[in-house]
Structure 1
Amino acid sequence: MIQIFGTEKCKLTRAAQRFFAERRIKVQFINLREKGLSKGELASVARAVGGMRALYAEDSPRVKERGLQYLDPSETRLAELFLEDPMLLRTPIVRDGARAAVGAAEVTWKAFAEATKP
């Protein structure tokens, strides 16, 4: 089952939800305000998208709020930050098993949609 990690207020997250809804594909929505990714999920998604840095929302208000905008964290430190504060993640994260995409990745979403068809 396709999972979408994001927040209700995020335009891109809503766009991902709409994309799959229009194709009548059931998704599981995980609200990052309520629940983050597990350590295993985070590692799997990072592998699929090219590393932790690809998941880092470095220009987000949350980064500035936490005073992290001048920090150049390592992959390990980013993983720790994401596990303690999922709001630092770029959204949406669309995951289909070991495959994942982050941000507006409609080409990848189409591939996920095609793979779910019987």
Structure 2
Amino acid sequence: MLKMFGLKKCSTCQKAMGYLDEKRKAYHFSDVKEDELSKDQVAKWSKALGGWEKMINRAGYTWRGLPKAETENLTEAKAVTLALKNPSLIRRPLIEHKDGSVTVGFSEKVRGFIG
């Protein structure tokens, strides 16, 4: 079963859930603001994606609203801590696939991976 993480009100997450429902693909959805994330879980995602830069949305309102001191000179560990503190920074939807891989967003490539 796919595990999807995002925000209930996120239009991209809603589109992804609609797609999965239409394709009758089983998934579990967790709202990152309601369901507590662990440091190990977020660090695992970051590593699976190839680094925090692919996990953190630096174009959104949350990122732009953070103090510069929190976003400058980010390391992997600092980015994971920042994502735990501000879960809406995590690109959405984040999907854990059956094979253990992780994807973010809901592009054609991701849809093709799901089937």
**TM-score bracket relative to the smaller structure:** 0.7 to 0.9
Question: Match of 2:112?
Answer: 110
* Equivalence map 1:1-118=2 (5 Å): 1-68=1-68, 71-97=72-98, 98-113=100-115
Q: Distance in 1 between matches of 2:77 and 2:94?
A: 19
Conserved 8 A contact 2:39-2:81: no
Gaps of 5+ in 2: none
**5+ long unaligned stretches in structure 1:** 114-118
Structure 1 residue 29: Cα displacement: 0.7
TM-score normalised by length of structure 1: 0.81
**Distance across 1 between alignment mates of 2:33 and 2:43:** 20
How far apart in 2 are the matches of 1:41 and 1:109? 23
* C-alpha distance in structure 2 between counterparts of 1:39 and 1:94, whole Å: 17
Secondary structure at the residue paired with 1:37? coil
Indicate if the aligned counterparts of 1:36 and 1:86 stay in contact, CA closer than 8 A. no
Quick one: percent identity of the two aligned structures?
A: 24
Where 1:48 maps in the other structure, the secondary structure is: helix
Structure 2 counterpart SS, 1:101: strand
Counting matched residue pairs gives 113
Whether the 8 Å contact between 1:33 and 1:86 is mirrored in structure 2 is yes
User: What TM-score, normalized to structure 2?
Assistant: 0.83
Instruction: Give the C-alpha shift of residue 35 in structure 1.
Output: 2.2
